[in-house]
Structure 1
Amino acid sequence: MMDLFDKPPVDPQENAEREPRAPSEAQERLQLALDAGAIIGTWVWSVPDDRLTADERFAEAFGLCPQRCAAGICVKDAFASIHPDDRNHVTALMNASLQHGGAFRCEYRVLRSDGQYHWTEGSGRAELDAQGRAVRFPGVLLDIEARRAAEAERDRVTAMLHTFTSAVPGVVYAKDRQGRMLVANHGTTLLIGKPPSFYLGKTDLEFLEDERQARQIMQTDQRIMRQGRPEQVEERVDMPDGTEAIWLSNKAPLFDKQGVVIGLIGSSVDVTARKTTEAALQELNRELETRVDQAVAEREAAQAALRQSQKMEAVGQLTGGIAHDFNNLLAGISGSLDLIRLRLGQGRLADAERYLGVAQGAAQRAAALTHRLLAFSRRQNLMPVPTDVNALIRGLEDLVRRTVGPSITVKVDLSSTAVTCLVDPAQLENTLLNLCINARDALKGGGCMTISTCDQWLETGPGLDPELAAGRYFTLCVADDGTGMSPQVLAKAFEPFFTTKAVGAGTGLGLSMIYGFAKQSGGQVRIESVEGEGTRVYLQLPSQAVAATPVAEVAPILPEAMAARGETVLVVDDEPSVRMFVSEVLVSHGYRVMEAADSQSGLQLLRSDVHIDLLVTDIGLPGTLDGRQMADAGRLCRPALPVLFMTGFAQPHVLEDRPLETAMAVLTKPFALERFFHGINTLLGKTPESDDAPG
C-alpha cells in the first residue's frame, strides 16, 4: 500500500509530463459540491510534491493557519487534526483512490480550534496521468455533525422499536373462501384475547366486537382472494386492553391443485410502536430542517449586513479621498483666479500669465483624477484597437529608463511571439508607466526592475478571475526586488485612495485605476509580493487572432490653423458654462453657432430647414433622449451630418453596444482646445494635408 507520508521524490521532467485525466479544478469542485452539499471547505493536493492547498474554511475546520493552507502544506500536517481512531480508515480509502483513481469519500472526526472533535466528510477524486500515476487530488469538506447526531438518535429509537416488537408474538392464520378462521397460532389468541374455540370456524364479523372494523377486514380479504395476488395492508385493530393498535399484515390467496382460490393466509405484526417512532422521527426531521433554515437565514442576514457595512465603509473612504484631493485642486484654481482679479484691479498684468498657468495645471490634475476614478469604476471611454503589446513596450523602453533613473537596472524580456490584444494603447501606456513608477518607488533608489511578457492559456480556478472565461491571455509583468508588501498592505492594494506614501506624495488611485482598466478591457490584474523581497504585478489581457493596427502619428493642429469657412455648428449641452465656452470659442474662430439646452430643442433644430454643418453635443442630456439618441434621430433627415460627442461620463451602451458610425467622434471632458479643434477639423475634412485647409 502506498504511504501517504513517505513518497519518493519526483523527477521534475517526469512531473511536467503528467497530465490529469479529469475535469478542471473548478469543474471538479463544482460537481463535488453539487453531489454533496453543505460545503465547509475545499482542497487540492498536488501529489508528486505533496503540497496541499486549501481555502480559509478548510483551515478553520482543521484548526490550521489559513495563510499556510493557502500557500500549501504537507498532507501529514492536515492528518494531525484527524481523530487518531479515524486516521487508518482515512489513509486506507485515500490510498485506494491514489492507486486506482476514482472517487474518495470518508467520514471522520476533526479537531477544531475550539478543542472539540466534529464530524466531517471528505469527498474527492484522485486524478491519474497517462501512466496511471496520481498527480492531483481535489476535494471538498462537508459538515455532517448535525446529520451524525440525528442518525445516532434515530438508531437509539430504532433499537427501542426492535426490542418492543420482539416482545410481542407475531400472528399467523389461515381463512377459508368465506373468511372463516381455519387455523391460527398463539399470537392470534393473544391478539383477540379469547381462546381458539372462540374464533376458529367463525368470520371476523362474528368474533370481533367492532362491526365496522370487521367489515373492513373482510372486504380487504375478499378483494385479495378475488384479485388472486398478495398484498400488504395496514389495519387498525382494537386490542383486548381497550387500546387501538396498527398492524401490518401480509396477506396472500390460497390455491388448490387446480389453481382455484380456496382461502387466504396471513401474517400480521404490531407496528404501532414503529409508526409512533417514525412519526416522532419525521417531526424531529422537520424540526431539524426548520432549525437549519433559520440558521442559514441568520447567516445570510449577517453576511448581507457585513457586505453593506463594507460597502458603506468603501463609499466613505472613496468620497473622503475625492473631497480631499478636489478641495486641494479647487483651492489652487480659485486662489489663482482671485489673484488674477486682484492684479487686474491693480492694473498689474505681469503676473496674470503665471497665475493662469497655476490654475490650468490644477485643472489638468483634476481632469486626471476624474479619469482615474472612471478607470477604477470601469466606465472610462476606451478606444480599443488591435495592439501589438510587445511593440508598444519597446517604444516606451527609453522613456521608462529615463523615468526610473540610472540607479535602477531595467531588464526587458519580451516573448518571441508577437501577440495582439484588443486594448486602448494610450491607457495601456499609462498603465505600464504607473507600474514602473511604483516599482521605482519600491526600489528606493537602487535595484533591478524587469518588464516581461508571455502568452499563456489560463483555466478557470484560482489563477483566473471568476468573471472571466478560460482561454488564451497575454501577460505583461512588471517585477522588482524592492521593499515588497506585507499581507495587510497587499490585501488593500487595489482599494481607492489607499497609499503607503506620505501625505501629498500620491493619490492612491494608481493601482485601482489599473484594476478598473484591466477589468474594462476584459482581463485581470494580480499582485504577488513578499515583504523585503519584492513585488510582481501581472496584467493579463485576452489575446486576439487579428493583425495589430499600426499607430499613426497625428500632428497637432493649433487653433490659429483652424479658421472657419462660414460653417454652422449646433451646440447642445445642458450645462450653461460649457455651452457658453464651446460657443464663444467657435464664434471667435469664425463659425456660426446655434445653441440648445436639451435634446428636444436640439432635435427640433435638426428636423428644421436650418442649414447645419456639424453637431457638437453632450451625451448625458436631460429628457427622454440622450445625446446619442438625439444624433441618431437627427441623422434620419440629415444622413451625412458629422457629430462630435462630448462627455465627462459615457454610459457603456453609448459606445459598446452601439458602435460609432461614420463621421462620429467622442471627446472626453475636460479637453484642451487643440483636441477640440482637431476633432472638428477631422469631421469637417479640414486637416493640414487638405488642399483647402487654411494656410
Structure 2
Amino acid sequence: MVHVAVLFFAHVTLFSGFALLLSAIPRPFRAVYLYCYLAVLLTFGGFLGSVYSLTLADGVVISGGNLLYGAFMVTSVLFVLAERDIFVLRRIVQLVVLVNVFVLSLSVLASRTLGAPGVVNQLGVPVGLFETSSFLIVLGGGMIVLELTFMAFVFEATKARIHSAVGIRITYLVIFVAVLCFDGLAFPIVAFGPSPETVAAAVGSLSGKLLTAVAYGLVVVSFSLIFQRRFSAYLDERVFSWRALLSPSGAILRDMERKDAQLAKARGRLAHSAELASLGYAVIDVKADRVVECDAIYADMHGLEREVLMAMPPSQIIETLIAEEDRKAVRDLIGAFSIEGKRALELRHITPDGSVRSLRKIYAPLPHEPGLTGSMIEVVGQDITEARLLQEQLFRSQKAEALGRLTGGVAHDFNNLLAVILGNLELHVLETEPAEREILIRNCIAATKRGADLTRSMLSFAQQAPLEPKIVNVNDIIEDLGRMTNRVLPASIEIAMDLRPNMPRVRVDPGMVESAVLNLILNARDAMPQGGRIEIKTTLVATENNRDERHPGELPPGRYLVLSVIDTGQGIAREKLPRIFEPFFTTKSPGAGSGLGLAMIDGFMRQSGGVVQVASVQGEGTQFDLYFPAVSDPTNASTSTQKYLEAQREMSKKTILLVEDDTDLRASLSKALSFSGHDVMEAADAEAALASFLASDHVDLVLTDVILPGPMQGPALLQALREHRPFLPAIVMSGNMTDQVAQTGSPQAEDIRLSKPIELAVLLDAIKQAFAVRPPSP
C-alpha cells in the first residue's frame, strides 16, 4: 500500500502545489490563471473523478472525485485569501454556474447524439450515463456555492473574534476540514437518497474524505505561513459581507467609486488642514537608522528638500540640525522607542541657512505592520517659531505692564533711599563726633545696598540679570516685597502675611524670589476681579521617602522652607492643572494676557533645588507652594568689615589698570584701590587704556567697564591687550551684565564679572580670584 499512499500525496502535491504557484503570481495575471485553473478542475473533475479511486487501507478509499473536489475548494480559498476581494467569491460562483451550464449542455448533446446514425460509440458508453449525471452536476455545483459562501462567512466571523494568528490558523483548518467532510456525507445522501445502504456507504468512506480534507487544509495553513504579508492583510480587512455578495456588481462598483471619491476628498481636506496648521509627518526606522517616509511640509520645516531629508540618517539629523542642548532629549526618546503612548518635545533646529526654528514634535511607536521591521516611530512636527516669538512678546508685554505699575512705587522707594543717603551725608559734614560720623556713614552704605538690591530685583523680574544665589532669610525678602505689592493691588484685595519666626535660611537668588512671588500675586489679582484675599505665609516641613504628606511630589528627603501664596479667587479647573506649567498654556481668555507665566517660576525652583506645587478648587481659590531646601550653615558670602580686613591683609601690592568712563565712579574706585595698597593707572576709554598699557612696564590686572565710549568696548579692549599679554588677569564690571554683554560681546570664561555698585571687600575678593585663575606673568 506504500505506493498507493505515495500516489495519494503526489495527487495532493500536484493540485495544491499548482494552486500555490499560481497564488504567487503578481496581479493582475494571478486572477486570470487561477480562474482558468478552477475552470479546468470543474470541467474535467467529474470525468476524472469517475475513472479511478485509491485504496490506502481497508475501509480507507479516496475517489478521484474527492481529490478533484478538494483541489477545487483549496484553490478557491487561496484565491479569496490572496485577492482579498468580494468579487472573487462572486466570480467563482459565476464560474461554477457557467461551467455547470456548459457540462449540462454537453451532456444533453452527447445523450441526444450518441445513438444517432453515423455516431460511433467506441467505448460503449451507455446513453443513460449522461442523463443521470445531469442531476449530480447541478447538485455538486449548488453544494460548492453554498459551502464556499458558508466558509467565507465563518472565516470573516472568526478573524473578528480571534486576535491570535495561531488561533486563526487552527480555526481555519478545522472549518475547512469540517466543510469538506460534510460535503462527503451530504452529497451521496442527497444524490441517492437516505437509504440505510447509502448512509452506511457514506459513513464508511468518511475516513478517506477526512484524510483528503486534512491534507488540503494543511495547504491553507501553508499559504498563511508562506505568504504572511498577504494573510495579515486579509486579516486586517473586511472582505466578505452578505450585502456585497448579493448586491448587483454595478451597484457595488458605484458604491466603491463613491467611497473612493469621499475618501479622496477627505484626504485632500486633511492634507489641506495639515498644510494650514504646518503639520508635517515622517516615519523613522530606529534600528535601520533611516527615514522611511516624510512629506514636503516636514522637510521644509527643517529647511531641506524632501529627497535630501529622506537621504539623511536620523542620527545625522540629530547631530547636524538639532541644537546641541536639545540633542540628548531626542537621543533618549528614540532609544526608548518601544515605550507605549506618545511623547512631545519642543526642539530648536538650526537650518542649513543658519536660521533657528522652534519645532514641536510628537513621537509615537508605530504598530507593527507586515514588511516593516517593528522598530518604527512616527513623528508629527509643527513649526511653532512664530508662535514662540509671539508668546515671548506677549509675556514681555505682560511684564512691561507690571513694570509700568511698579514704576511709581519703585521711584518712591528709590527716592526714600536717596533721601536717607543725602540726609546722612549732610549730617556727616556737620557732625564733629567720630562715633556719630561712623554711624552716619554706615547708614549711607546700608541704603546704597538696598538700592542695589532694588535694581537687581527689577532686572530679575525683567529676566535681564543672571542668577546670583545667596544664603538669605526669605521672611526679610517677603517683608520688603510687601511695600511694593501694596501699590500694585487694588483696594478691594486684602493682603495678609503669616511669616513664621526663626525660619531656616535658604540659598536662592533673592531677586528671582521677589519676581516669582510678584508673578503669583499678579495672577491672584487677575483671578479676583471682584476683590478677595491673598495670604503669603512661610512654614517649615520635613519630607521622608520623597513625599510630603500635604503636598506629595518629587522631593528628596530633608528640611524645606515652604513659601505659600494663597488666594480666594476663581480657581483652576481640575483638567487644566497638569498643564499650567507648560510655556504656552494659559487659563486666561484671549487678549487677557500671555498666561500665568509659571514656566519661569518652575524653572527657577528646579534650578534652586526645589519644586513648585499647586492645589486649586474651582470657585474657592488656589494655593501655590514654593519648596526651598533649607541650608544648615547660615553663613553668607555677603561682605563684612572682617572680610574686608582679611582681604586687605592677604592681598600683596599690585598695579591695576582701571578703565571707567564715569569720572566720579573712576575716582571712587581708584581711591578705594589705592587705600587698599594697590597702584592704580586710570583711563576713561579703551584707546587711552591701550596706550597706557603699552607705555607701562608692568600691569598686573585690568579692571574695566563693559560699555566704554568710542568704538572699542570692554571685551574688545581685553582681547587687544591679550595680544601682548595672553594670560593677563581681568575683571569686567557693569550695571546690567546680561544686556550689555549681548551688545558688546562676551568676555572670556576665566574673567571675573561684577555688577555695579561694587563693595570694596567684594572687589578685593574678585582681584584675589582673578590672580588665582590667571597668575600674573613674572
Q: By the TM > 0.5 criterion, same fold?
A: no
Structure index of larger Rg: 2
Instruction: State the structure with bigger RCO (CA 8 A, min sep 6), 1 or 2.
Output: 1
TM-score by length of 1: 0.37
TM-score by length of 2: 0.33
Give 1 or 2: higher strand fraction.
Answer: 1
